[in-house]
Amino acid sequence: MEFLSDPNTWIAFFMLAALEIVLGIDNIIFLSILVGHLPDQQRDLARRLGLLFAMASRIALLFSLAWVMTLTDPLFTVIGNEISGRDLILLGGGVFLLYKASHEIFLEVEAHPSKEASAGVDAVKTGAAMFWRTIVQIGVVDIVFSLDSVITAVGMVDHISVMVAAVVASVAVMMLAAKAIGDFVDRHPSIKVLALSFLTMVGTLLVAEAFDVHVPKAYVYVAMLFSLTVESLNIRARSKRAALQH
């Protein structure tokens, strides 16, 4: 336990925890949008289960590092590109995100109110089925996001106990923030569409990554932050106009 007295260990812990939180932003957004379809009384439980599964999947992958690193070994070649187990997971996750985000954008922008009302009735009738279907979808994306998160952690920290502590700390922060983010997204439909567009970009990056086309996620985060800032100003302007009218 001597490494705990080393300042470099604590620096690595805080850096990794911060990075895990940043990498978990897309996870929180996806979770918030899926949970938004559930009845109010089920949302908190779904958030907790989703984030607990995210933490469990990350820790499980950390304790199976030898297996995780073998996922980078080529399995076969397609048009000159070597495809590994990690690539297949990223490809599957990216396609799933693209489908789910596009479907949610359609429902938000194009779906008719009558259809939404009908969907709401069906959701009430099949509440338990919808709840567990939501948890399964969250779990699938958790595994995809966990893979890159764990590989990043391995590259930054030498001690597995520090990695696990950073993962637990980051999930704890995400649990505190998830409800506020989810409520904010629910109150502002334009933010929801923006968040779904962000998930579409993330899905595209995952598919590109599967074919060894590396695009730094920082580009996506900066673009998203800029778009979010502009839309926040629009929301504030709309709120001021509404207040003046009343």
Report the number of distinct structural domains present in the chain.
1
What is the H or E stretch that residue 74 is in? strand 74-78
**Cβ atoms 12, 157 nearer than 8 A:** yes
Least confident of 31-35, 65-69, 136-140, 193-197: 65-69
Does position 172 have pLDDT exceeding 80, yes or no? Answer: yes
Statement: residue 114 has pLDDT above 70: no
Write the burial class of residue 154 (CB in 10 Å: 0-12 exposed, 13-18 middle, 19+ buried). middle
- Percent of the chain scored above 70 by pLDDT? 85
Q: Residue 117 — pLDDT band, cuts 50, 70, 90?
A: very low
77 phi and psi, to 5 degrees?
A: -120, 135
Higher pLDDT, 212 or 99: 99
User: Which tens digit of pLDDT belongs to each residue from 191-230?
Assistant: 888 888 888 888 888 888 888 888 877 787 788 888 888 8
Q: Tell me how far the alpha carbon of residue 241 is from its chain's centroid.
A: 34
Q: What is the mean pLDDT of residues 45-59?
A: 86
Would you say the pTM of this structure is higher than 0.85? no
Distance of alpha carbon 194 from alpha carbon 233, whole angstroms = 14
User: Range of 123's domain?
Assistant: 2-245
Per-residue H/E/C for 112-126: CHHHHHHHHHHHHHC
First-to-last CA distance in the chain? 63
Helix then strand count (H, E) for the chain reads: 10, 2
